[in-house]
């Protein structure tokens, strides 16, 4: 069968599969809390759009930075227009009433009432953590469904548009639009900047302004399409139920009469059987990351052979299968977390899933290897930061060790290429999206070196062999030797909690060095390097024996060695328990947990005695130290309360005030992947050697 006929047939089957009622997301697989921001389209740091309000038509969708990336949805019921997405400035439109909001690991579903017709919106970002090609493909689905709820027949038309804001960094940038040939498969609309300066901008509060945003509909849905002034299209649709003629393509700024892309559907007579339509939102960036002056392609298109039309056609053809796989992934994430830590813990893991993954970009390295770069969202914009990877690592290590490798491989390449000459691990490899070498103003020698030792050991443990350790043993030994010389009693240097500043004799940083050496020794022994293993194990054990006396502060252990009346969360000691290193007396952890119970505020336990803010990822790591569920819940439940009640309407901030529940700083960061540590810990303990 010719390829174009096969594509058309598959797409037709796809459309038929939508005629059934849209699946209601099972409650047990959804987060049973109010998220501070609701994920809509989530793929990477540039293609990540959220709703910052409880109802989808109370505000415009926004990029995670807060910049508007407008989507507008309107439904006409018997001639009366209702808005169900965004806030159009169109006379005569009535907001539909939100009835339900459901968020699972990969999907977000809204149910709204537009007069006698129920509208269901299901956003699906198929971030299948066990499928790199699908996870890395920047294509999300919006499934629209309408059904009558009064038993009568109604005339219904649907409309959706997206503005050029999806394709610019600033709204004054000129854009151009066009309709792309989609063969017999799809109607494809595209918009992008006229300048197309690929990878021409770096930094934190930055949006993409190269490549093109795509809005597409399966061709046999018989959609009407429009390109141009979307305010005019909204008015025309609201009044007449159809679209005006498209504007001729002529470059103008994105905020000049708001050019955009729109589709409209005449569902004709709607009764109690749902009428469904599918839309695809995608972004084709061609090149995604620059790595030491070489522009790298996204992993899904690593050979550069797929066009924008190919991206749309593949994504539409895959939808029926991906819808089922996303349902399975939702259940897997929810049920794993439920077994590990209960309902509230499961809610947090569900809430973290898309946020953690979409703070990364998957690309093909210079030799075709898989690289998975993180971005430090709303902290400093660094790319590939080790101490951001360290807290986010549990999610990826739990479900796909190849992703875990992808987080570390470019660090080893940097360190082993001669570009990085210091005796400890680097902090980062640049400022997103330019990975041309560390740009952070200072080093974190103990922090990053120990992080790399722990994460490399975890990869070896999860893969069940020593190939990863052997490939990088020389580098890891150099970093381990640095810890031997400097790790027990740290000098005045930064740790991952660098917002608190430099300070010397950090007891928790010392713990990190000790467990890093212990983890490395354990994996060396498994790999057959007995003499090296004996040396590092002996030193780790010696340091673990003297650490309690250095850190003791009455009935607990202090923030710094030698300072009275201080305390801090000792989250780094968690690897002693998880990896079975047996370095520390268990009584240390028990006394710390008992002390922490006396310091808990309404929205969590503070990070240390210096302030009442905390880091939610570290709180959940600390909870893993608990042997009893009551101690675990005592730490987890206030974090659930924070996420559920925070007045800071942004993707979950991992740095918040424990008394007010307000964001202290950071948002949309990958570190919430660390919420999965309890799942990883349980899995490792079941497969312990």
Phi, psi of 39 (to 5 degrees): -70, 135
The set of residues, in sequence order, having a beta carbon less than 8 Å from that of 202 and lying 6+ positions away, is 381, 430, 431, 432, 433, 434
Q: What is the DSSP string of 424-475?
A: S--S-S-BTTEESS--SSS--HHHHHHHHHHHHHHHHHHHTSSHHHHHTHHH
Q: In what order do the strands lie in the sheet with 48-51?
A: 38-42, 48-51, 62-63
**Do 319 and 378 lie in a common domain?**
no
Place of tokens 């948002």: 667
CB 594 within 8 A of CB 604: no
Q: Is residue 359 part of a domain?
A: no
Write the CATH number for 271. 2.70.98
Q: Is residue 169 part of a domain?
A: yes
Q: What is the pLDDT of residue 92?
A: 95
Q: Is residue 354 part of a domain?
A: no
DSSP 8-state class, residue 646: -
Helix (H, G, I), strand (E, B) or coil at 262: strand
DSSP 8-state class, residue 254: T
**Do 314 and 440 lie in a common domain?**
no
**Do 22 and 81 lie in a common domain?**
yes
Q: Is residue 301 part of a domain?
A: yes
Q: What is the pLDDT of residue 16?
A: 42
Q: Is residue 504 part of a domain?
A: yes
Query: Dihedral through CA 531, CA 532, CA 533, CA 536, nearest 10?
Result: 130
**Do 596 and 654 lie in a common domain?**
yes
CB 189 within 8 A of CB 200: no
Residues in the chain predicted with pLDDT less than 70, given as ranges, are 1-22, 688-689
pTM, full prediction: 0.96
Write the CATH number for 400. 1.50.10.10
**Do 152 and 93 lie in a common domain?**
yes
Q: Which two tokens stand for residue 252?
A: 């103008």
Q: Which two tokens stand for residue 652?
A: 């979950």
**Do 476 and 396 lie in a common domain?**
yes
Q: In what order do the strands lie in the sheet with 294-296?
A: 294-296, 289-291, 434-435
pLDDT tens profile 446-458: 999 999 999 999 9
Q: Is residue 350 part of a domain?
A: no
Using CA atoms, how far residue 529 sits from 131, 235, 485, 526, in Å, is: 34, 73, 21, 8
**Do 306 and 438 lie in a common domain?**
no
pLDDT tens profile 588-616: 999 999 999 999 999 999 999 999 999 99
**Do 521 and 646 lie in a common domain?**
yes
Neighbours of 2 (CB within 10 A): 7
Q: Residue 468: which of 386, 397, 534, 394 has the closest Cα? A: 397
Q: Which domain range does residue 679 map to?
A: 369-686
**Do 394 and 464 lie in a common domain?**
yes
Q: What is the pLDDT of residue 501?
A: 81
- Greatest CA separation for the chain: 81
Helix (H, G, I), strand (E, B) or coil at 235: helix
DSSP 8-state class, residue 598: T
Neighbours of 256 (CB within 10 A): 14
Helix (H, G, I), strand (E, B) or coil at 258: coil
Using CA atoms, how far residue 13 sits from 8, 17, 282, in Å, is: 9, 6, 21
Using CA atoms, how far residue 16 sits from 4, 20, 304, 315, 423, in Å, is: 18, 8, 32, 16, 61
Distance in angstroms between the alpha carbons of the first and the last residue of the chain = 52
User: What distance in Å separates the CA atoms of residue 280 and residue 43, rounded to the nearest whole number?
Assistant: 13
Q: Count of domains in the chain?
A: 2
Cis? peptide before 240, omega within 30° of 0: no
Q: Is residue 336 part of a domain?
A: no
Q: Is residue 638 part of a domain?
A: yes
**Do 17 and 130 lie in a common domain?**
yes
User: What distance in Å separates the CA atoms of residue 293 and residue 610, rounded to the nearest whole number?
Assistant: 42
Q: Which residues pair with 110 in a beta bridge?
A: 101, 121
**Do 156 and 304 lie in a common domain?**
yes
**Do 546 and 680 lie in a common domain?**
yes
């Amino acid at each position: 069968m010719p390829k174009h006929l096969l594509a058309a047939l598959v797409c037709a089957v796809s459309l038929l599969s939508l005629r059934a009622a849209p699946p209601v997301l099972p409650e047990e697989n959804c987060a049973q809390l109010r998220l501070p921001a609701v994920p809509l389209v989530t793929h990477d740091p540039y293609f990540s759009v959220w709703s910052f309000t409880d109802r989808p038509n109370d505000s415009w969708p926004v990029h995670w930075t807060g910049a508007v990336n407008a989507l507008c949805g309107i439904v006409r019921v018997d001639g009366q227009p209702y808005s169900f997405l965004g806030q159009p400035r169109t006379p005569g439109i009535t907001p539909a009433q939100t009835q339900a909001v459901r968020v699972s690991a990969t999907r977000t579903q809204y149910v709204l009432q537009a007069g006698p017709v129920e509208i269901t919106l299901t956003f699906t970002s198929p971030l299948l953590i066990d499928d790199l090609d699908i996870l890395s493909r920047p294509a999300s689905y919006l499934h629209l469904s309408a059904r009558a709820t009064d038993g009568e027949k109604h005339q219904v038309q649907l409309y959706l548009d997206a503005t050029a804001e999806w394709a610019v960094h600033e709204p004054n940038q000129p854009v151009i639009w066009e309709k792309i040939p989609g063969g017999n498969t799809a109607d494809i609309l595209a918009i992008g900047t006229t300048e197309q300066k690929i990878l021409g901008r770096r930094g934190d509060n930055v949006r993409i302004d190269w490549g093109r945003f795509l809005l597409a509909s399966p061709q046999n849905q018989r959609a009407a399409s429009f390109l141009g002034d979307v305010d005019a299209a909204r008015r025309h649709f609201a009044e007449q139920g159809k679209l005006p003629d498209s504007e001729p393509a002529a470059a103008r700024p994105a905020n000049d009469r708001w050019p955009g892309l729109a589709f409209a559907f005449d569902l004709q007579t709607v009764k109690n059987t749902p009428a469904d339509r599918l839309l695809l939102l995608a972004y084709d960036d061609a090149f995604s990351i620059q790595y030491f002056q070489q522009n790298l392609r996204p992993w899904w298109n690593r050979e550069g052979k797929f066009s924008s039309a190919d991206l749309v056609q593949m994504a539409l053809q895959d939808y029926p299968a991906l819808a089922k796989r996303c349902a399975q992934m939702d259940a897997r994430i929810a049920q794993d977390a439920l077994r590990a830590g209960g309902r509230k813990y499961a809610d947090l893991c569900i809430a973290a899933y898309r946020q953690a993954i979409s703070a990364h970009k998957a690309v093909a390295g210079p030799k075709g290897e898989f690289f998975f770069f993180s971005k430090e969202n709303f902290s400093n914009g660094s790319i590939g930061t080790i101490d951001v990877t360290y807290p986010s690592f549990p999610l990826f290590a739990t479900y796909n060790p190849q992703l875990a490798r992808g987080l570390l491989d470019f660090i080893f390449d940097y360190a082993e290429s001669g570009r990085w000459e210091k005796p400890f691990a680097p902090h980062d490899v640049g400022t997103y999206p330019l990975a041309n070498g560390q740009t952070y103003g200072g080093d974190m020698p103990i922090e990053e070196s120990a992080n790399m030792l722990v994460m490399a050991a975890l990869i070896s443990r999860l893969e069940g062999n020593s190939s990863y350790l052997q490939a990088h043993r020389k580098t890891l030994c150099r970093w381990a030797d640095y810890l031997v010389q400097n790790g027990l009693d740290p000098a005045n240097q930064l740790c991952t909690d660098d917002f608190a500043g430099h300070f010397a004799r950090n007891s928790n940083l010392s713990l990190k060095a000790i467990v890093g050496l212990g983890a490395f020794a354990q994996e060396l022994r498994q790999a057959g390097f007995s003499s090296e293993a004996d040396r590092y194990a002996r030193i780790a054990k010696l340091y673990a024996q003297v650490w309690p006396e250095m850190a003791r502060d009455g009935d607990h252990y202090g923030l710094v060695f030698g300072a009275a009346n201080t305390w801090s969360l000792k989250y780094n000691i968690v690897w002693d328990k998880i990896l079975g290193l047996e370095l520390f007396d268990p009584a240390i952890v028990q006394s710390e947990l008992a002390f922490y119970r006396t310091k808990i505020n309404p929205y969590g336990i503070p990070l240390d005695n210096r302030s009442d803010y905390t880091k939610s990822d570290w709180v959940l790591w600390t909870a893993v130290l608990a042997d009893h569920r009551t101690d675990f819940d005592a730490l987890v439940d206030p974090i659930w309360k924070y996420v559920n009640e925070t007045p800071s309407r942004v993707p979950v901030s991992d740095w918040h005030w424990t008394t007010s529940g307000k964001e202290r700083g950071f948002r949309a960061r990958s570190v919430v992947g660390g919420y999965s540590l309890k799942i990883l810990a349980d899995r490792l303990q079941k497969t312990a050697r």
